[in-house]
Amino acid sequence: MNMILTLNISSFESVVTRKQSNEMIIAVIVTSICGGIIYIGGFFGNILSFSIFVQKNVRNLSTGLLFLILTILNTIHLYTLVIDYFHLVYDIKFYKLVFLHCRFELWIQNVSRTMSSYIAVTICIDRMIRSEPRPSLSKQHIYKLTIIYFILFGLMFSFYFCPLNKENQYGNCYADLKSSYHLFISEIWTPIRIVIVGVIPIVIMIITNIRIFYNMRKSKRRVHHSNQIIHSGKSGTLSTKIDSMMVVIMISNVLTFFVTQVPFHIVALVNAYGTHYFPTYFSRRMNYILRALVLMLSSLYFGIGFYLYWISSPLFRKKFTNTIKIIIRKTFSINTWIVRKNQMFGINRHNDVK
């Protein structure tokens, strides 16, 4: 796609047309192999994460509900990346209409990415509130906030529906280079987008996590000083364990966001304003490879969640294992019931024949 500022996989269309360059052939191969692994593993991991966060005792916590919404948004965004991936590598178009291919897809891709970033921010804020003697976010607050995010970011990215987004004879999206719309997209919107989608979420995450750790240390000192033991019962203990699991998962999510998204936005900024400082060789060849690798790194965030949660949280592993056992047990029970019904039906039919 011509929307270079969005750093979609479609923006590597020129890589495919320059196969005489070994560097660009490598970029296509790396994108093809890594993309397949990331997207297949990402969808599988998101489904498994959904099976945990959808459980009642997890989603009853505000953080658990937020992680459920985050998983859904990450899956939607991963789907849009898969569409671009198949278009680039295999020349397969999911959408035939220009409206869907060059406008709606760009809109939903950017809305889902931005909403995912700010849901992650909301998770940090929720944990910070829960670490202080204040009322935590309720389910109603979270639902309302999610709707507000959707309306706000949906309107913010509505310019992608501009009719100037067209499709050329090769099936790639473009905008007239001489139009003011292209100037806005490539020169003005890029830094604004980086600040809104990258800088602001990262700054808020860092501040809230510092505050969370400060409150946790303060709380431990207060409990140690008072030497009080609180008996909360079995349900309270389970809730506390799930609460602790959410803190660990949140930290893993923040670190992953920082590692995968910062390079993405740095390369986007360099691509928009810094290419004229580099030699032509780097701009046209090495820059494609760099952007391909950074895009793959950025895509990791939207599909690696389950695997990080599994590694970082023993309780998450335990809940997932229990979930698998329950599914197997129910499947076995259903199969046993079907076999017994068939046997009873066979016996009754045999008796009727007699």
- For the stretch 34-59, pLDDT in tens is 888 888 999 999 999 998 899 888 88
- Using DSSP's 3-state secondary structure scheme, residue 94 falls into coil
Q: Domain of 179: which CATH number? A: 1.20.1070.10
- Displacement of CA 229 from its chain's centroid (Å): 40
Please tell me the distance from the alpha carbon of residue 290 to that of residue 279, in angstroms, as a whole number: 15
CB 265 within 8 A of CB 7: no
**CA-based nearest residue to 291, from 318, 269, 268, 258:** 268
Residue 66 lies in a domain: yes
What does the mean pLDDT of the chain come to? Answer: 78
CA 286 to chain centroid:
27
Q: Using CA atoms, how far apart are residues 33 and 45, in angstroms rounded to an integer?
A: 18
State which residues form the domain around 110: 4-225+232-312
**Residue 112, pLDDT score:** 96
Q: Phi-psi region for residue 92, left (φ > 0), alpha (ψ -120 to 50) or beta?
A: beta
pLDDT at 65: 93
How many angstroms separate the CA atoms of 106 and 5, rounded?
A: 11
pLDDT at residue 340, rounded to an integer: 67
DSSP H stretches of helix in 1-96: 13-16, 22-53, 56-59, 62-89
Phi, psi (5° rounding) for residue 150? -65, -45
pLDDT of residue 69: 96
What's the pLDDT at 120?
93
* Segment 114-142, tens digit of pLDDT: 999 999 999 999 888 877 766 778 889 99
Q: Which residues are bridge partners to 174 per DSSP? A: 166
Strands 173-174, 166-167: pairing is: antiparallel
Is 341 a member of any domain? no
d(CA 276, CA 76): 35
Highest mean pLDDT (candidates 99-113, 232-246, 251-265, 325-339)? 99-113
Q: Which amino acid is at 163?
A: P
Assigned domain for 289 exists: yes
Q: 182-201: buried (b, 16+ CB within 10 Å) or exposed (e) per residue?
A: bebbbeebbbebbebbbeeb
In a domain, 191, yes or no: yes
pLDDT at 278 over 60: no
Q: What is the pLDDT of residues 6-23, one digit of tens each?
A: 434 444 444 444 444 566
CA dihedral 335, 341, 345, 351 (to 10 degrees): 120
The percentage of residues in the chain with a pLDDT greater than 70, rounded to a whole number, is 72
What is the per-residue pLDDT across 282-312, written as a single tens digit (0 to 9) for each? 455 566 667 667 777 888 889 888 888 888 8
Q: Confirm whether 338 is domain-assigned.
A: no
- CA-only gyration radius of the chain, Å: 25
Task: Over range 169-187, report the average pLDDT.
Answer: 81
pLDDT tens by residue, 139-167: 899 999 999 999 999 999 999 999 888 88
Q: What is the pLDDT of residue 263?
A: 83
Query: Residue 346 falls within a domain, yes or no?
Result: no
Q: Is residue 10 part of a domain?
A: yes
Q: What are the φ and ψ backbone dihedral angles of 96, each rounded to 5 degrees? A: -90, -30
> What is the per-residue burial (b if ≥16 Cβ within 10 Å, else e) of 238-271?
eeeebeebbbbbbbbbbebbeebbbbbbebbbeb
Torsion of CA 38, 39, 40, 41, to 10 degrees: 40
Domain count, the chain: 1
Q: Is residue 27 part of a domain?
A: yes
Note the pLDDT of residue 213. 81
pLDDT at position 43 is: 93
DSSP 8-state symbol, 136: P
Look up residue 12 and give its DSSP letter: G
Residue 18 has what pLDDT?
Answer: 45
Q: Could you tell me which residues are beta bridge partners of residue 166?
A: 174
Read off the pLDDT band of 201 (50, 70, 90).
very high
